[in-house]
Amino acid sequence: MRIGELSRRTGVPVPTIKYYVREGLLPAGQLTSPNQASYDDAHERRLRLIRALLDVGGLKVAAIAEVLAAIDDPDRSVHKVLGAATDPIVPRYADSEADAELEGAREEVRELIARRGWRVDDDTPAVEALAAALAALDRVGHGAFIEVLDDYASAAEQVARADLAYVGRRAGLDDLVESVVIGTVLGDAVLVSLRRLAHVEVSARRYGDDTAADGGGHGPGREGGGRSDGKAVVS
């Protein structure tokens, strides 16, 4: 296909496609004449992956180049490739001087990983992200949250198995990485929404009055949250 057809199929403007080629993100097309090049399905798949990493994953061009290099490295395992794709989209926190809460949280995370036998490196970005979140909870007087951390970890394992069972249906490595990135970013939104819905259900059963049975339950922290239209209200 010509570059114009590639643009129509993917929705990526022709100048942007040429920019990706110049930056080495997208392989050049096969020259058919001095001023014409032909592109194939592999170019289309790679272009869709670039857009997923950029638009959904929020990666910068340099980070995308690293992910693509990992995909194209024949000595890199699928596990390592998926790590290269997902590590950059883990939330980063501004570097700050370590305090007692952060040091304690880091130790709790190390113990959790060891206790559960997780094969996770200490420099995995999610390790520090979890420690930062636990430290913040401790600073605002909710250090006891650590008591339910294993319950959260068990639920996270179940979600991770579902995630990888879904992406495992993809045949090509490009498709697999695209699914992981999109599934991680948008899957987080799905998971948060499901958690909120579950809060409504569990709250209604544990703390609700008779109106909860009629669909008028409310989420944690919202008083008088019943609605006449039967929809739950979550704080």
- 8 Å CB contact between 85 and 50: no
Q: What are phi and psi of 38, to 5 degrees?
A: -110, 140
Domain boundaries, the chain: 3-77, 90-167, 173-235
CA 210 to chain CA mean position, Å: 39
* Cα dihedral value 135, 153, 201, 206, nearest 10: -70
pLDDT at 229: 44
Angle between helices 3-10 and 41-51 in degrees, nearest 10: 50
Q: 55 pLDDT band (50/70/90 cuts)? A: confident
Q: Taking residues 125-140, what's their average pLDDT?
A: 92
pLDDT at 222: 45
pLDDT at 210: 55
- Whether 228 shows a pLDDT value over 80: the answer reads no
Q: Taking residues 53-75, what's their average pLDDT?
A: 86
- 8 Å CB contact between 61 and 23: yes
pTM of the predicted model as reported, rounded to 2 decimal places: 0.69
* Cα dihedral value 16, 18, 24, 28, nearest 10: 140
- Closest alpha carbon to 170 in 182, 187, 159, 158: 182
SS3 33: strand
Q: What letter would DSSP give residue 230? A: S
Q: For the chain, what percent of residues have pLDDT higher than 70?
A: 86
pLDDT at 177: 83
Q: Taking residues 26-43, what's their average pLDDT?
A: 90
- Whether 119 shows a pLDDT value over 60: the answer reads yes
* Cα dihedral value 176, 181, 183, 184, nearest 10: 130
pLDDT at 211: 54
pLDDT at 227: 44
Higher-confidence residue of 113 and 98: namely 113
Q: Tell me the per-residue pLDDT of 84-102, one tens digit each, with 9 for 90 and over.
A: 888 887 776 655 567 889 9
pLDDT at 196: 93
- Whether 230 shows a pLDDT value over 60: the answer reads no
Q: Taking residues 166-176, what's their average pLDDT?
A: 79
CATH fold of 3-77, please? Answer: Multidrug-efflux Transporter Regulator; Chain: A; Domain 2 (1.10.1660)
Q: 75 pLDDT band (50/70/90 cuts)? A: confident
